[in-house]
Amino acid sequence: MGRTAVHQASERQFLDERGSSSRLAPNGLNPARIMEKAVVDRIIDSYFWKEQCFGLNEADIVDRVVDHVHFIGGITGPSQKPTPFLCLALKLLQLAPGDDVLAEYLHFGGEKFKYLRALALFYVRLTRAPKDVYATIEPFLEDYRKLRRKGRAGTSLTYIDDFADDLLVKDRVCATSLYKLTKRDVLEDLDLLPPRVSPLGDLEDLLEEDDEEEEKEKEEEPKEEDDEGDDRDALDRSSREPADVSMANGDDQDDSSNNHNNNDSRDAES
């Protein structure tokens, strides 16, 4: 009986200058050359890599993430120290876990340990084909849990959905250059991906509703101006009427006083 082939992650073979001679990643890239050489050298020289990343397997990655990964990031501090997150990402490139293991990282383990999910998303972006990247990462655009992000400028707050969006739209994340991702509409035209349905609904319908509301507002504005003009005319008329009445009363009083004076003068002459 022949022996079954067992894949073993060889440190010496993986870190060779010529790159790993094992099988390529699903996106066609050499796993050993995905990260820049300067970044890999810093990771290998780091204390965390030498102490915590030796002899790990896919199950041990979960323990290391739970115990040591408390923020995401690439290179931190004045000394350009690699983060545990980046060190474990390099270890995943060396181990090359399968899709079933990544599914456990993303779903079962990711519900309990958010940094394990973030690490798995980062690894998927580095190694998977564009259609698989979109299909795997997009569902987690609705995960709003908080993450700490640590970089050269210090520590900041972010969210899993923001991190997932960065993986889809940015060219560099966590001190690692990402390969150019094919646009989603191109993959849709090739029938490799179904059209994405936004949680907000159809964007075109929303835009049409906004246009209809704007048109209604424009139609109502002239009517309001006409109503205001009619109210002003009514006020002007009401303000003029008492004045006219008072003037008429004054004229009547003057006529009556003149008649009374004329009668008095006639009586005096007689």
Query: Domain-by-domain residue ranges, the chain?
Result: 11-196
Q: Of 42, 40, 134, whose CA–CA distance to 94 is shortest?
A: 40
Q: What's the pLDDT at 245? A: 46
* 193 residue type, one letter: L
Give the model's confidence band at 237: pLDDT under 50 very low, under 70 low, under 90 confident, else very high.
low
- In whole angstroms, give the CA distance from residue 104 to residue 177: 26
Backbone angles phi, psi at 13, to 5 degrees: -70, -40
- In whole angstroms, give the CA distance from residue 60 to residue 62: 5
Average pLDDT value for residue range 254-262: 54
Higher-confidence residue of 17 and 112: namely 112
Average pLDDT value for residue range 50-70: 92
Q: In the 3-class helix/strand/coil scheme, how is 174-213 assigned residue by residue? A: CCEECCCCCCHHHHHHCCCCCCCCCCCCCHHHHHHHHHHH
Q: Of 89, 94, 116, 92, whose CA–CA distance to 105 is shortest?
A: 116
Predicted structure pTM score: 0.70
Dump the DSSP string for 133-187. Answer: HHHHHGGGGG---EEEEEETTEEEEEEHHHHHHHHHH-SEETTEEPPPPPPHHHH
Express each pLDDT in 84-93 by its tens digit. 999 999 999 9
Q: Which residues contact 157 (CB under 8 A, 6 or more apart)?
A: 146, 147, 148, 149
* 204 residue type, one letter: E
Give the model's confidence band at 49: pLDDT under 50 very low, under 70 low, under 90 confident, else very high.
very high
Instruction: Answer yes or no: is pLDDT of 67 > 90.
Output: yes
Higher-confidence residue of 270 and 109: namely 109
- Average model confidence (pLDDT) for the chain? 80
Instruction: Answer yes or no: is pLDDT of 179 > 50.
Output: yes
Dump the DSSP string for 70-136. Answer: -SB-SEETTTTEEPHHHHHHHHHHHH---HHHHHIIIIIHHHH-HHHHHHHHHHHHHHS-HHHHHHH
Express each pLDDT in 117-142 by its tens digit. 999 999 999 999 999 999 999 999 99
CA dist list (Å): 63 to 53, 58, 87, 99, 206: 11, 10, 14, 19, 46
Average pLDDT value for residue range 51-78: 92
Average pLDDT value for residue range 166-182: 93
Instruction: Answer yes or no: is pLDDT of 81 > 50.
Output: yes
Q: What's the pLDDT at 50? A: 92
Q: What's the pLDDT at 55? A: 87
Q: What's the pLDDT at 212? A: 74
